[in-house]
Amino acid sequence: MTSITENDTDLIKKAFACSNYLAALCERDDTVLTTLLNGQGTPYLEEALHLKALEAFTEHCDSEVHLMSALRAYHAQHTARIIWYDVIVQQPIKHSLTQVSVLANAIILTAYNWLYTSLTQRYGIPQARQPMCILAMGKLGGHELNFSSDIDLIFAYPEKGETHGGRKQVEHQVFFTKLAQKLIHVLDTVTTEGRLYRVDMRLRPFGESGPLVAHFDALEDYYHEQAREWERFALMKARIINPPTKDTDTLYNIIRPFVYKKYLDFTTLDALRDIKQMINAETRRRRLANNIKLGRGGIREAEFFVQCFQMIHGGRHPSLQVKNWLKACEKLAQEGHIATETQQAITQAYCVLRKVEHALQQVNNEQTQSLPTDPLHWQKIVLSTGYESQASLEHDIAKARETIHDLFAELFAQPDEDVDTESALYQFCVDAWQLDLSEQELNDTGQSVIDTHLVSQFHTIISGLKKTVLTSRAGTRGRQQLDKLIPLILEAFLENEDKDFVVLERIFALIHAVLGRTTYLDLLLENPDVRKQLFHLCQLSPWIADQLRQFPLLLDELLAPIYLHNQTTDLEASRQEYIGELRQVLLRIDPDDEEQHMDVLRQFKLCQQLRIAAADILGTLPVEKVSDKLTMLAEVLLTHVINTALHQMAKRYGLPEYHDIPGHGFAALAYGKMGGWELGYGSDLDLVFIHNAPADSQTTGAKQISAQQFYIKVAQRIMHLLNTKTIFGELYDTDLRLRPSGNAGLFCCHVDGFTHYQNNDAWTWEHQALVRARAVFGETELIEKFNLTRQAILCKTRDVEALKIEVSDMRRKLFEHWQSEKGKQSFKHGTGGITDIEFLSQYWVLAYSHQDTSLTKWQDNLRIIDAASSTSLISAEQADVLKKAYLCQRNALHHSTLLGKLDQAESAEIKHMRKAVSEVWQAILPPYSADE
């Protein structure tokens, strides 16, 4: 050793006084102290530096014994560096946590790589050289490992199979189990040089009774079907130590959906409350008040505080899905889930306790979080943490624990503490639900809180729900949740001025639908805002209530009610919004799982449609923009479905030989409401598919078919993806009858055949339909050819008088058909209704586009009416009448769906408008009804 200066002596005394463990390391190997005094022992903050250095330490290891010795020597050198920098340099605790963690990462990975190679020499290599993925849990997973801590690990491998190429082939399960056992042995065995890390495997599936290693499928089955709530919390910090590969991505994709749910999962709060109660009980039982980890206001409470917010919001905000406590806390503040002042306060408190924890453990390399009981030990901790006195350190510890506990206690308040459980109304609702009261007893009990005339119906509806619950599979926990939830719903109902029992029936119908799924009961119980929105929307719209009943996943939308704010009305902005959100939800699924793919598309449509409907009924989306949004949603989903169908067929048959990009040579045409940007709730899609493949073109795949057959199969696949009914319904009902030759025609025809049909065989009503046709998917060249065909057909010179008769005759047929089925008129199909306005628009385009092609520019009624006015086909006053009548009746049509009143009585305003529209019709076209 080089000569030691007086200053060196002071540093050594300070370091050795704080850490008996460091003194022992330096006594065993004097080069350690020399390195520290020469300033060459800066601890590594990067795992890569350790891995490179460890190569030199282990490259000549020819046995497990040599490997264990080399790793322990390396570990000793670098733990000494960390202690020195903690005590002498007083480095930030976050650096120390990172240094301890990256050292452990590198040692585990080095040992694993050496053992993997060694085992393959005997047993051969697993198929595809698949790895054993090592999941670091707890503080190691979060890169915040204690100085002297257990390491919690889980081992998993991708697929079943057998090794190949070795002296003795074995199943993967055997190979990876041996590998896991050897890795634990290398890390955990106590030798003359000590142990590296105590390894804890109890967090694996089924705990100590489960296999040491599990393949991915078994892991996924366990987390989907048998895992308990606390395992979600444990897996929040799960980090794969192995370098990133497709296998590590797969494992993360198994874990992430189990840990983070899309909805705000308030069952998390119950689990955390239970854990908190267990900690408190353990503190009292074991007298852990002096424990800065498990005691009141300890490190664990700080961890739970952050984990709770991560769990609640992480499913919707992936940026919160970070492993490290400090980073997670910072993200929560950045995203606005906690106040910046809260983040700063709890971070400071956490760092104080972690610094003290390290100081405690560095004294003798013991896993302890208990504060000292003797003065000498206190002085070691005071010196190690850089405080001036024991009093000042104890003050900061107490302050930190108080800060943490106050935040923790505030977070875990009882779920119904804001409910006045002493109020007569609430107590009446509890009794009404939980006691078996007769109607008279209910009346006597509620004399001061409920009107007598309401009691009978109130009793009937509650009794009905009770019978439903008794015969359901709600389970013990479900019934417990109902006992808390139903009184809150009843109280809210009775507090409402408009006590409409139909609304209560709608809400109870929803509860009946989710009785077996306690997650939704939790959601309703724990979130008053969700209950408030549920009441409001069920009151306004039976259609929305029915959607929520059929598809309870839509309840998640009530957690973030963006429909309460004014909506984006720009079409392109809406398109990009839908595309972006759809892309995000599709990232979470296996692209090859067709059933899941179709379910996700339907869920996406349901959620977006609910947002539109809620914004519509609440007035935050302008009337004229409702159809725009519904149409754009359909267009985005249709585009995705077409691309999916093209790729699926290309994968099976290859592409038509004249094209090398899926989608080229194919186009989808939207007619009717979709073509005219006028979709309503539940509207079907009128579609026609065309292509431009040469007649003799074949596909390029192993199984060749003609291009014509290829595009027909694409069209059939599109219909399958759109029309198939799953548990979430069908995506869209579709109608292909407007294709050339109708039901007798090909599912997808050549564009030249389409043009020929329109020119030579199409009826006038088919040209009327072409007015509202537009391409919604396809390559530019093909779309341009369609547009030219459309314009040429619409601009043909026609006998106007003959056209009037044909249009009027077609309108009469529709009117009579509707009358025979419906039996009465409405503002849509009756005289002066929306259909009259559509026929008038189509007539103007067909009759006069040869004079002014601007009439063919648009497919929607409003802009066609504007064009007819600007070309003097009608007066400005007539145009105004038609536009106002159209908007008013279309709005009424939307709301008749939402209100569940398809045959609702017409308002005086609509009757007046229908009369005005009829007058315009009579001025332009022959009558088709005796009413005219």
Which one has a higher pLDDT value, 416 or 39?
Answer: 39
- Three-state DSSP class for residue 291: strand
What backbone torsions phi and psi does residue 313 show, to the nearest 5 degrees? Answer: -105, -10
| Measured CA angle at 565 (ends 561, 566), to 5 deg | 140
Which one has a higher pLDDT value, 915 or 269?
Answer: 915
pTM for the full predicted model: 0.55
CATH topology of domain 800-924: Four Helix Bundle (Hemerythrin (Met), subunit A) (1.20.120)
- Reported as a pLDDT band with limits 50, 70 and 90, residue 609 is confident
Whether the pLDDT of residue 825 is over 50: the answer is no
Share of the chain above pLDDT 90, in %: 45
Which pLDDT score is estimated for 420? 47
Which pLDDT score is estimated for 581? 86
Chain segment 558-570, per-residue pLDDT in tens: 766 665 666 666 7
Which pLDDT score is estimated for 57? 87
Q: Using an 8 Å Cβ cutoff, are 402 and 292 in contact?
A: no
Beta bridge partners of 125: 164
Q: How far is CA 526 from CA 253, 412, 484, 551, 564, in A?
A: 28, 12, 10, 20, 21
Rounded Cα–Cα distance for residues 394 and 641 (Å): 64
Stretch (H or E) spanning 352: helix 340-364
Section 181-190 average pLDDT: 96
Which pLDDT score is estimated for 560? 64
Share of the chain above pLDDT 70, in %: 91
Which pLDDT score is estimated for 615? 82
How far the first Cα of the chain sits from its last, in Å, is 114
Chain segment 334-343, per-residue pLDDT in tens: 988 899 999 9
Which pLDDT score is estimated for 548? 82
Token duo for residue 269: 């709060």
Rounded Cα–Cα distance for residues 107 and 100 (Å): 11
**Domain assignments of the chain as residue spans, ordered by start:** 41-259, 267-411, 433-516+536-557, 571-792, 800-924
Which pLDDT score is estimated for 713? 94
Rounded Cα–Cα distance for residues 415 and 412 (Å): 8
Token duo for residue 262: 């899309």
Closest CA to 566 of 621, 633, 612, 608: 621
Which pLDDT score is estimated for 905? 53
- DSSP code, position 58: H
Rounded Cα–Cα distance for residues 94 and 377 (Å): 24
Whether the pLDDT of residue 66 is over 50: the answer is yes
For domain 41-259, give its CATH number from 3.40.50.150, 3.30.460.10, 3.40.50.300, 1.20.120.10.
3.30.460.10
Section 715-736 average pLDDT: 91
Q: Are strands 748-750 and 774-778 parallel, antiparallel or unpaired?
A: unpaired
| Residue pointed to by tokens 């056992």 | 181
For 70-109, the DSSP string reads HHHHHHHHHHHHHHHIIIII---HHHHHHHHHHHHHHHHH
Whether the pLDDT of residue 196 is over 80: the answer is yes
- Reported as a pLDDT band with limits 50, 70 and 90, residue 823 is very low
Candidate ranges 102-116, 767-781, 914-928; pick with highest mean pLDDT: 102-116
Chain segment 623-668, per-residue pLDDT in tens: 778 888 999 999 999 999 999 999 999 889 988 887 655 556 899 9
Which pLDDT score is estimated for 685? 93
Which pLDDT score is estimated for 532? 83
Which pLDDT score is estimated for 379? 95
Q: Using an 8 Å Cβ cutoff, are 363 and 380 in contact?
A: yes
What backbone torsions phi and psi does residue 775 show, to the nearest 5 degrees? Answer: -80, 130
Token duo for residue 909: 């305003």
- Reported as a pLDDT band with limits 50, 70 and 90, residue 103 is very high
- Reported as a pLDDT band with limits 50, 70 and 90, residue 931 is low
Which one has a higher pLDDT value, 308 or 216?
Answer: 216
At 643, the amino acid letter reads N
Which one has a higher pLDDT value, 492 or 67?
Answer: 67
Which pLDDT score is estimated for 840? 93
Which one has a higher pLDDT value, 337 or 112?
Answer: 112
Which pLDDT score is estimated for 279? 55
Tell me whether the CATH fold assigned to 267-411 matches the one assigned to 571-792. Answer: no
Which pLDDT score is estimated for 906? 64
Rounded Cα–Cα distance for residues 882 and 263 (Å): 45
Section 902-927 average pLDDT: 79
Candidate ranges 396-410, 507-521, 918-932; pick with highest mean pLDDT: 396-410
Q: How many CB atoms lie within 10 A of CB 81?
A: 21
Chain segment 248-284, per-residue pLDDT in tens: 999 999 999 889 876 554 555 566 665 655 555 455 4
Whether the pLDDT of residue 419 is over 50: the answer is no
Which pLDDT score is estimated for 153? 97
CATH topology of domain 571-792: Beta Polymerase; domain 2 (3.30.460)
Which pLDDT score is estimated for 209? 78
Whether the pLDDT of residue 35 is over 50: the answer is yes
| CATH number of the 267-411 domain | 1.20.120.330
Whether the pLDDT of residue 890 is over 90: the answer is no
- Reported as a pLDDT band with limits 50, 70 and 90, residue 5 is confident
Chain segment 277-335, per-residue pLDDT in tens: 555 545 544 456 788 998 889 998 899 899 988 988 888 788 999 999 999 999 999 98
Average the pLDDT over each of 389-393, 745-749, 888-892 and give the range with the smallest value. Answer: 888-892
Whether the pLDDT of residue 793 is over 90: the answer is yes
Which pLDDT score is estimated for 416? 44
Which pLDDT score is estimated for 53? 93
Residue 405, C-beta contacts closer than 8 angstroms, at least 6 positions apart: 296, 297, 301
